[in-house]
Chain A
Amino acid sequence: MAGSMDGDEMDDGTNGTMDGNRDPYDLDELLGAYALDAVDAHDRRRVEDYLEINPRAAEEVQQHREVATMLAFTGMDAPDGVWDRISDEIGEQAPPPGPELAKVMSLDEGRDERDRRRRGVSSVVPWIVSAAAAAVVAVVAIAVVDRDDAPSDPIAAAVEAARSDRDSVTTTLVSDASDAAAEAIIDQDGHGYVVARDLPTLSDDQTYQLWGVVDDQVISLGIFGPNPEIETFTVESEVSALAITIEQFPGVVSDGNPVGAFVGSF
Protein backbone atom coordinates (compact mmCIF):
# COMPACT_ATOMS: atom_id res chain seq x y z
CA MET A 1 0.00 0.00 0.00
CA ALA A 2 2.59 2.49 1.08
CA GLY A 3 4.80 4.30 -1.26
CA SER A 4 2.75 5.04 -4.34
CA MET A 5 4.07 8.16 -5.97
CA ASP A 6 0.92 9.83 -7.07
CA GLY A 7 2.23 13.30 -7.60
CA ASP A 8 -0.39 14.90 -5.45
CA GLU A 9 0.39 18.45 -4.53
CA MET A 10 0.23 17.70 -0.78
CA ASP A 11 2.36 14.61 -0.88
CA ASP A 12 6.11 15.01 -0.73
CA GLY A 13 6.65 11.50 -1.99
CA THR A 14 8.10 10.07 1.21
CA ASN A 15 5.32 7.71 2.08
CA GLY A 16 7.53 5.27 3.86
CA THR A 17 9.70 4.49 0.91
CA MET A 18 12.65 6.75 1.43
CA ASP A 19 15.25 7.00 4.12
CA GLY A 20 13.03 8.40 6.77
CA ASN A 21 14.44 11.90 6.86
CA ARG A 22 11.00 13.39 6.67
CA ASP A 23 10.71 17.10 7.01
CA PRO A 24 8.54 18.54 9.78
CA TYR A 25 5.86 19.56 7.30
CA ASP A 26 5.42 15.99 6.16
CA LEU A 27 5.35 14.69 9.72
CA ASP A 28 2.85 17.36 10.70
CA GLU A 29 0.61 16.24 7.88
CA LEU A 30 0.67 12.74 9.31
CA LEU A 31 -0.55 13.76 12.75
CA GLY A 32 -4.25 13.35 12.01
CA ALA A 33 -3.78 9.92 10.50
CA TYR A 34 -1.52 8.93 13.38
CA ALA A 35 -4.10 10.03 15.95
CA LEU A 36 -6.64 7.74 14.27
CA ASP A 37 -4.21 4.80 14.09
CA ALA A 38 -4.33 5.17 10.31
CA VAL A 39 -0.61 4.82 9.71
CA ASP A 40 1.52 1.76 9.15
CA ALA A 41 4.26 0.68 11.56
CA HIS A 42 6.92 2.55 9.63
CA ASP A 43 5.13 5.87 9.80
CA ARG A 44 4.08 5.26 13.39
CA ARG A 45 7.68 4.98 14.52
CA ARG A 46 8.64 8.15 12.71
CA VAL A 47 5.75 10.13 14.12
CA GLU A 48 6.42 8.89 17.63
CA ASP A 49 10.06 9.95 17.37
CA TYR A 50 8.83 13.33 16.19
CA LEU A 51 6.38 13.66 19.06
CA GLU A 52 9.17 13.04 21.55
CA ILE A 53 10.86 16.27 20.51
CA ASN A 54 7.87 18.36 19.53
CA PRO A 55 5.36 19.14 22.28
CA ARG A 56 3.19 21.13 19.91
CA ALA A 57 2.77 18.11 17.68
CA ALA A 58 2.03 15.92 20.69
CA GLU A 59 -0.66 18.36 21.77
CA GLU A 60 -2.15 18.34 18.30
CA VAL A 61 -2.36 14.55 18.35
CA GLN A 62 -4.15 14.70 21.68
CA GLN A 63 -6.59 17.24 20.31
CA HIS A 64 -7.34 15.00 17.35
CA ARG A 65 -7.99 12.12 19.73
CA GLU A 66 -10.38 14.22 21.77
CA VAL A 67 -12.33 15.00 18.61
CA ALA A 68 -12.41 11.32 17.75
CA THR A 69 -13.76 10.69 21.24
CA MET A 70 -16.75 12.86 20.42
CA LEU A 71 -17.41 10.88 17.28
CA ALA A 72 -16.94 7.52 18.94
CA PHE A 73 -19.54 7.94 21.64
CA THR A 74 -22.61 5.94 20.75
CA GLY A 75 -24.57 5.98 23.97
CA MET A 76 -24.32 2.20 24.22
CA ASP A 77 -24.03 0.31 27.46
CA ALA A 78 -21.43 -2.36 27.97
CA PRO A 79 -22.95 -5.85 27.87
CA ASP A 80 -23.83 -7.65 31.05
CA GLY A 81 -21.15 -9.89 32.44
CA VAL A 82 -18.10 -8.01 31.23
CA TRP A 83 -17.55 -6.27 34.54
CA ASP A 84 -17.78 -9.58 36.35
CA ARG A 85 -15.01 -10.97 34.18
CA ILE A 86 -12.86 -7.89 34.77
CA SER A 87 -13.45 -8.12 38.50
CA ASP A 88 -12.51 -11.78 38.47
CA GLU A 89 -9.37 -11.12 36.50
CA ILE A 90 -8.03 -8.29 38.62
CA GLY A 91 -9.06 -10.08 41.77
CA GLU A 92 -6.71 -12.89 40.89
CA GLN A 93 -3.77 -10.58 40.38
CA ALA A 94 -1.36 -9.59 43.10
CA PRO A 95 -0.40 -5.93 43.22
CA PRO A 96 2.59 -5.26 40.99
CA PRO A 97 5.99 -5.21 42.63
CA GLY A 98 8.16 -2.15 43.16
CA PRO A 99 9.22 -1.22 39.61
CA GLU A 100 5.60 -0.98 38.51
CA LEU A 101 4.38 1.19 41.34
CA ALA A 102 1.75 3.73 40.48
CA LYS A 103 3.13 7.07 39.43
CA VAL A 104 2.55 10.01 41.66
CA MET A 105 -0.24 12.04 40.16
CA SER A 106 -1.21 15.53 41.08
CA LEU A 107 -4.84 16.10 41.83
CA ASP A 108 -4.48 19.48 40.23
CA GLU A 109 -6.88 20.07 37.42
CA GLY A 110 -7.97 23.16 35.59
CA ARG A 111 -6.49 26.38 34.52
CA ASP A 112 -5.61 27.74 37.92
CA GLU A 113 -3.48 24.79 38.83
CA ARG A 114 -0.22 26.63 39.16
CA ASP A 115 -1.75 29.49 41.08
CA ARG A 116 -3.40 27.12 43.49
CA ARG A 117 -0.20 25.18 43.94
CA ARG A 118 1.75 28.34 44.57
CA ARG A 119 -0.71 29.39 47.23
CA GLY A 120 -0.56 25.91 48.70
CA VAL A 121 3.21 25.85 48.79
CA SER A 122 3.49 29.14 50.56
CA SER A 123 1.09 28.12 53.26
CA VAL A 124 2.07 24.50 53.73
CA VAL A 125 5.85 24.52 53.56
CA PRO A 126 6.43 26.31 56.84
CA TRP A 127 4.43 23.96 59.01
CA ILE A 128 5.80 20.81 57.43
CA VAL A 129 9.38 21.98 57.66
CA SER A 130 9.04 23.20 61.22
CA ALA A 131 7.15 20.11 62.26
CA ALA A 132 9.71 17.90 60.57
CA ALA A 133 12.49 19.57 62.51
CA ALA A 134 10.64 18.91 65.73
CA ALA A 135 10.00 15.34 64.73
CA VAL A 136 13.71 14.64 64.43
CA VAL A 137 14.05 15.41 68.11
CA ALA A 138 10.88 13.67 69.16
CA VAL A 139 11.43 10.33 67.47
CA VAL A 140 12.66 7.73 69.88
CA ALA A 141 11.46 4.57 68.23
CA ILE A 142 10.97 3.35 64.72
CA ALA A 143 7.90 1.41 63.80
CA VAL A 144 8.66 -2.14 62.83
CA VAL A 145 6.73 -3.80 60.09
CA ASP A 146 4.85 -6.91 60.99
CA ARG A 147 6.68 -9.39 58.82
CA ASP A 148 4.38 -12.30 59.38
CA ASP A 149 2.64 -11.72 56.09
CA ALA A 150 5.66 -10.61 54.10
CA PRO A 151 6.32 -13.84 52.18
CA SER A 152 2.95 -13.69 50.46
CA ASP A 153 2.83 -9.96 49.92
CA PRO A 154 5.00 -8.54 47.13
CA ILE A 155 4.66 -5.00 48.47
CA ALA A 156 5.85 -6.09 51.91
CA ALA A 157 8.73 -7.88 50.23
CA ALA A 158 9.58 -4.72 48.32
CA VAL A 159 9.56 -2.78 51.58
CA GLU A 160 11.93 -5.28 53.12
CA ALA A 161 14.25 -5.02 50.14
CA ALA A 162 14.22 -1.23 50.25
CA ARG A 163 14.77 -1.18 54.00
CA SER A 164 17.80 -3.42 53.72
CA ASP A 165 19.32 -1.40 50.89
CA ARG A 166 21.98 0.91 52.26
CA ASP A 167 21.20 3.46 49.56
CA SER A 168 17.63 3.86 50.75
CA VAL A 169 16.59 6.60 53.15
CA THR A 170 14.08 6.15 55.94
CA THR A 171 12.19 8.31 58.35
CA THR A 172 9.47 7.92 60.92
CA LEU A 173 6.44 10.13 60.68
CA VAL A 174 5.04 11.14 64.04
CA SER A 175 2.33 13.45 65.29
CA ASP A 176 1.83 15.55 68.36
CA ALA A 177 -1.73 14.34 68.46
CA SER A 178 -1.16 10.60 68.39
CA ASP A 179 1.12 7.90 69.72
CA ALA A 180 0.95 6.14 66.38
CA ALA A 181 3.67 6.47 63.76
CA ALA A 182 4.36 5.54 60.18
CA GLU A 183 7.63 4.51 58.62
CA ALA A 184 8.65 5.86 55.21
CA ILE A 185 11.37 4.39 53.01
CA ILE A 186 12.56 5.74 49.66
CA ASP A 187 14.96 3.65 47.64
CA GLN A 188 17.62 4.99 45.32
CA ASP A 189 15.30 4.77 42.33
CA GLY A 190 12.67 6.95 43.96
CA HIS A 191 10.27 4.16 44.87
CA GLY A 192 8.74 5.07 48.17
CA TYR A 193 6.86 3.05 50.76
CA VAL A 194 4.92 4.14 53.77
CA VAL A 195 4.17 1.53 56.39
CA ALA A 196 1.07 3.15 57.76
CA ARG A 197 -0.92 0.29 59.20
CA ASP A 198 -0.58 1.68 62.73
CA LEU A 199 -2.28 4.95 61.90
CA PRO A 200 -5.76 5.30 63.39
CA THR A 201 -8.62 4.36 61.08
CA LEU A 202 -10.50 7.41 59.85
CA SER A 203 -14.15 7.78 59.02
CA ASP A 204 -15.23 6.91 55.48
CA ASP A 205 -15.46 10.52 54.42
CA GLN A 206 -11.84 11.16 55.35
CA THR A 207 -8.54 10.08 53.88
CA TYR A 208 -4.88 10.20 54.73
CA GLN A 209 -2.87 12.16 52.17
CA LEU A 210 0.90 12.06 51.72
CA TRP A 211 2.88 15.22 51.01
CA GLY A 212 6.55 15.67 50.25
CA VAL A 213 8.85 18.66 50.40
CA VAL A 214 10.83 18.74 47.17
CA ASP A 215 13.03 21.72 46.37
CA ASP A 216 11.20 23.75 48.99
CA GLN A 217 7.87 22.98 47.39
CA VAL A 218 5.19 20.79 48.86
CA ILE A 219 3.61 18.33 46.47
CA SER A 220 0.94 15.75 46.97
CA LEU A 221 2.41 12.26 46.74
CA GLY A 222 -0.66 10.13 47.17
CA ILE A 223 -4.03 9.42 48.70
CA PHE A 224 -4.02 6.56 51.20
CA GLY A 225 -7.67 6.23 52.13
CA PRO A 226 -8.97 6.01 55.70
CA ASN A 227 -7.33 2.73 56.63
CA PRO A 228 -3.86 2.55 55.09
CA GLU A 229 -1.50 -0.36 55.36
CA ILE A 230 1.63 -0.38 53.22
CA GLU A 231 1.29 2.40 50.68
CA THR A 232 3.52 3.24 47.75
CA PHE A 233 4.60 6.36 45.93
CA THR A 234 7.32 7.52 43.60
CA VAL A 235 9.46 10.64 43.58
CA GLU A 236 11.72 12.01 40.90
CA SER A 237 13.73 14.41 43.05
CA GLU A 238 15.21 14.38 46.51
CA VAL A 239 12.63 14.69 49.25
CA SER A 240 13.64 16.50 52.42
CA ALA A 241 10.50 15.80 54.46
CA LEU A 242 7.22 13.94 54.33
CA ALA A 243 3.89 14.60 55.99
CA ILE A 244 0.69 12.61 56.18
CA THR A 245 -2.34 14.78 56.70
CA ILE A 246 -5.95 13.98 57.38
CA GLU A 247 -8.24 15.35 54.68
CA GLN A 248 -11.80 15.06 53.52
CA PHE A 249 -12.12 12.33 50.88
CA PRO A 250 -10.97 12.27 48.08
CA GLY A 251 -8.13 14.53 49.20
CA VAL A 252 -7.13 18.08 48.44
CA VAL A 253 -5.02 19.77 45.84
CA SER A 254 -3.07 21.93 48.24
CA ASP A 255 -3.18 23.47 51.68
CA GLY A 256 -2.88 20.18 53.50
CA ASN A 257 -4.45 20.20 56.94
CA PRO A 258 -1.68 20.46 59.53
CA VAL A 259 -3.93 19.42 62.42
CA GLY A 260 -2.86 16.00 63.61
CA ALA A 261 -0.40 15.57 60.73
CA PHE A 262 2.31 12.92 60.90
CA VAL A 263 5.64 14.42 59.87
CA GLY A 264 9.15 13.14 59.34
CA SER A 265 12.33 14.43 57.71
CA PHE A 266 15.25 12.76 55.97
Chain B
Amino acid sequence: MRRDYADASDAALVVSIGRYQQAALAEAYRRHAGAVFGLAKRLLNDHARAEEIVQEVFVRLWNDPNRYDPERGTLRSFLLAHTHGRSVDMIRAESSRRNREEKEARQQADAGYDLAHEVWDMALAGHVREALGALQPGEREAIELAYFGGLTYQEAAEQLGEPEGTVKSRIRSGLKRLRNELVNAGITVGPE
Protein backbone atom coordinates (compact mmCIF):
# COMPACT_ATOMS: atom_id res chain seq x y z
CA MET B 1 0.00 0.00 0.00
CA ARG B 2 1.48 3.32 -1.00
CA ARG B 3 1.59 6.19 1.42
CA ASP B 4 3.16 9.60 1.68
CA TYR B 5 6.49 9.53 3.50
CA ALA B 6 7.41 13.12 2.75
CA ASP B 7 7.05 14.18 6.38
CA ALA B 8 8.55 11.07 7.92
CA SER B 9 11.91 11.28 9.66
CA ASP B 10 14.85 9.38 8.22
CA ALA B 11 14.65 7.00 11.16
CA ALA B 12 10.98 6.34 10.47
CA LEU B 13 11.80 5.75 6.81
CA VAL B 14 14.33 3.10 7.74
CA VAL B 15 11.80 1.41 10.01
CA SER B 16 9.39 1.29 7.09
CA ILE B 17 12.10 0.03 4.76
CA GLY B 18 12.58 -2.78 7.24
CA ARG B 19 8.95 -3.58 6.70
CA TYR B 20 9.49 -3.80 2.94
CA GLN B 21 7.79 -0.51 2.15
CA GLN B 22 9.30 0.41 -1.21
CA ALA B 23 7.77 3.89 -1.03
CA ALA B 24 9.92 4.56 2.04
CA LEU B 25 13.04 3.59 0.12
CA ALA B 26 11.93 5.87 -2.70
CA GLU B 27 11.69 8.76 -0.27
CA ALA B 28 15.14 8.01 1.14
CA TYR B 29 16.42 7.94 -2.43
CA ARG B 30 14.75 11.27 -3.19
CA ARG B 31 16.44 12.84 -0.19
CA HIS B 32 19.93 11.42 -0.45
CA ALA B 33 20.64 9.92 -3.86
CA GLY B 34 22.00 13.18 -5.22
CA ALA B 35 24.61 13.41 -2.50
CA VAL B 36 25.51 9.75 -2.95
CA PHE B 37 25.90 10.16 -6.67
CA GLY B 38 27.84 13.40 -6.31
CA LEU B 39 30.38 11.89 -3.95
CA ALA B 40 30.77 8.72 -5.99
CA LYS B 41 31.23 10.65 -9.22
CA ARG B 42 33.73 12.95 -7.65
CA LEU B 43 35.76 10.04 -6.36
CA LEU B 44 35.53 7.82 -9.40
CA ASN B 45 35.37 10.47 -12.09
CA ASP B 46 33.16 8.02 -13.96
CA HIS B 47 29.45 8.59 -14.47
CA ALA B 48 28.52 4.95 -15.09
CA ARG B 49 30.41 3.60 -12.13
CA ALA B 50 28.97 6.32 -9.91
CA GLU B 51 25.51 5.16 -10.94
CA GLU B 52 26.48 1.63 -10.00
CA ILE B 53 27.48 2.84 -6.56
CA VAL B 54 24.15 4.65 -6.10
CA GLN B 55 22.29 1.49 -6.99
CA GLU B 56 24.42 -0.63 -4.70
CA VAL B 57 24.08 1.74 -1.75
CA PHE B 58 20.29 1.88 -1.87
CA VAL B 59 19.81 -1.81 -2.58
CA ARG B 60 21.99 -2.50 0.42
CA LEU B 61 19.84 -0.20 2.54
CA TRP B 62 16.80 -2.14 1.37
CA ASN B 63 18.34 -5.51 2.08
CA ASP B 64 19.99 -4.64 5.37
CA PRO B 65 18.36 -1.61 7.02
CA ASN B 66 19.38 -2.74 10.48
CA ARG B 67 22.92 -1.62 9.74
CA TYR B 68 21.75 1.93 10.23
CA ASP B 69 21.53 3.09 13.82
CA PRO B 70 19.78 6.47 14.04
CA GLU B 71 21.28 7.08 17.45
CA ARG B 72 24.78 7.03 16.02
CA GLY B 73 24.40 9.41 13.12
CA THR B 74 22.36 10.71 10.26
CA LEU B 75 21.13 8.52 7.45
CA ARG B 76 22.98 10.70 4.97
CA SER B 77 26.24 10.21 6.83
CA PHE B 78 25.62 6.47 6.91
CA LEU B 79 24.92 6.32 3.19
CA LEU B 80 27.86 8.52 2.28
CA ALA B 81 30.22 6.50 4.45
CA HIS B 82 29.21 3.42 2.48
CA THR B 83 29.47 5.34 -0.76
CA HIS B 84 32.95 6.50 0.08
CA GLY B 85 34.11 3.09 1.21
CA ARG B 86 32.86 1.34 -1.90
CA SER B 87 34.24 4.00 -4.18
CA VAL B 88 37.63 3.76 -2.55
CA ASP B 89 37.51 -0.01 -2.83
CA MET B 90 36.82 0.40 -6.52
CA ILE B 91 39.66 2.82 -6.95
CA ARG B 92 42.11 0.64 -5.09
CA ALA B 93 41.10 -2.45 -7.00
CA GLU B 94 42.05 -0.94 -10.31
CA SER B 95 44.94 -2.59 -11.98
CA SER B 96 46.04 0.79 -13.20
CA ARG B 97 46.02 2.20 -9.73
CA ARG B 98 49.57 3.36 -9.80
CA ASN B 99 49.09 5.29 -13.00
CA ARG B 100 45.92 6.84 -11.76
CA GLU B 101 47.46 7.94 -8.50
CA GLU B 102 50.42 9.51 -10.14
CA LYS B 103 48.40 11.19 -12.82
CA GLU B 104 45.26 12.32 -11.04
CA ALA B 105 46.74 13.22 -7.69
CA ARG B 106 49.35 15.32 -9.45
CA GLN B 107 46.67 16.94 -11.57
CA GLN B 108 44.66 17.77 -8.49
CA ALA B 109 47.63 19.25 -6.72
CA ASP B 110 48.81 21.15 -9.76
CA ALA B 111 45.34 22.51 -10.42
CA GLY B 112 45.14 23.91 -6.92
CA TYR B 113 42.07 21.79 -6.32
CA ASP B 114 39.88 23.91 -4.15
CA LEU B 115 37.38 22.44 -1.72
CA ALA B 116 35.78 25.78 -1.12
CA HIS B 117 35.03 26.13 -4.80
CA GLU B 118 33.66 22.61 -5.03
CA VAL B 119 31.17 23.12 -2.25
CA TRP B 120 30.16 26.57 -3.42
CA ASP B 121 26.77 25.43 -4.56
CA MET B 122 25.73 23.69 -1.44
CA ALA B 123 23.08 25.29 0.68
CA LEU B 124 25.43 26.07 3.51
CA ALA B 125 28.33 26.97 1.31
CA GLY B 126 29.16 30.16 3.08
CA HIS B 127 29.57 28.57 6.47
CA VAL B 128 31.43 25.61 5.08
CA ARG B 129 33.77 27.94 3.19
CA GLU B 130 34.50 29.77 6.38
CA ALA B 131 35.12 26.53 8.21
CA LEU B 132 37.47 25.38 5.50
CA GLY B 133 39.20 28.71 5.63
CA ALA B 134 39.95 28.13 9.28
CA LEU B 135 42.01 25.07 8.45
CA GLN B 136 45.73 25.11 8.09
CA PRO B 137 46.72 24.55 4.45
CA GLY B 138 48.30 21.26 5.39
CA GLU B 139 45.09 20.09 7.00
CA ARG B 140 43.06 20.96 3.92
CA GLU B 141 45.45 19.19 1.61
CA ALA B 142 45.54 16.09 3.76
CA ILE B 143 41.74 15.86 3.99
CA GLU B 144 41.37 16.58 0.30
CA LEU B 145 43.69 13.81 -0.79
CA ALA B 146 42.34 11.34 1.74
CA TYR B 147 38.64 11.92 1.24
CA PHE B 148 38.28 13.06 -2.33
CA GLY B 149 41.44 11.50 -3.66
CA GLY B 150 40.74 8.12 -2.11
CA LEU B 151 44.31 7.82 -0.84
CA THR B 152 45.49 6.28 2.38
CA TYR B 153 47.15 8.69 4.74
CA GLN B 154 50.48 7.08 3.87
CA GLU B 155 49.87 7.66 0.20
CA ALA B 156 48.75 11.21 0.86
CA ALA B 157 51.93 11.74 2.85
CA GLU B 158 53.96 10.57 -0.08
CA GLN B 159 52.08 12.88 -2.42
CA LEU B 160 52.58 15.80 -0.12
CA GLY B 161 56.15 14.98 0.79
CA GLU B 162 55.26 15.02 4.44
CA PRO B 163 55.83 12.48 7.22
CA GLU B 164 53.03 9.95 7.58
CA GLY B 165 52.41 10.80 11.20
CA THR B 166 52.04 14.45 10.34
CA VAL B 167 49.42 13.75 7.69
CA LYS B 168 47.57 11.34 9.94
CA SER B 169 47.40 13.95 12.65
CA ARG B 170 46.45 16.71 10.25
CA ILE B 171 43.49 14.75 8.97
CA ARG B 172 42.21 14.28 12.49
CA SER B 173 42.87 17.81 13.68
CA GLY B 174 41.43 19.24 10.47
CA LEU B 175 38.19 17.31 10.87
CA LYS B 176 37.89 18.41 14.48
CA ARG B 177 38.53 22.00 13.53
CA LEU B 178 35.95 21.82 10.75
CA ARG B 179 33.38 20.46 13.12
CA ASN B 180 34.02 23.15 15.70
CA GLU B 181 33.81 25.86 13.08
CA LEU B 182 30.53 24.53 11.74
CA VAL B 183 29.04 24.13 15.20
CA ASN B 184 30.14 27.63 16.13
CA ALA B 185 28.42 28.86 12.99
CA GLY B 186 25.21 27.32 14.22
CA ILE B 187 25.22 24.40 11.83
CA THR B 188 24.06 21.09 13.20
CA VAL B 189 26.60 18.43 12.37
CA GLY B 190 25.16 15.00 12.95
CA PRO B 191 21.96 13.85 14.63
CA GLU B 192 20.01 16.32 16.73
Contact = CB atoms under 8 A, between A and B. Distances in A.
Classify chain A: how many residues form its interface, as a range.
35 or more
Contacts of A187: none
A63 interface: yes
B165 A11 contact: yes
Given A4-B154, A33-B171, A70 B128 contact: yes
Interface in A214-266: 222-227, 231, 249-251
Interface in B112-130: 115, 118-119, 121-124, 128
A189 interface: no
- What DSSP secondary structure best describes chain B's contact surface? helix
Given A71-B119, A89-B55, A36 B38 contact: no
A66 interface: yes
Contacts of B166: 8, 10-11
A8 B58 CA distance: 42
Contacts, number: 257
A93 B63 contact: yes
Contact of A65 (B77, B151, B174): B77
B42 A74 contact: yes
Q: How large is the interface on B (under 10, 10 to 19, 20 to 34, 35 or more residues)?
A: 35 or more
A109 B55 contact: no
A78 interface: yes
Contact of B66 (A67, A103, A226): A103
A32 interface: yes
Interface string B150-169: 11111111100001111011
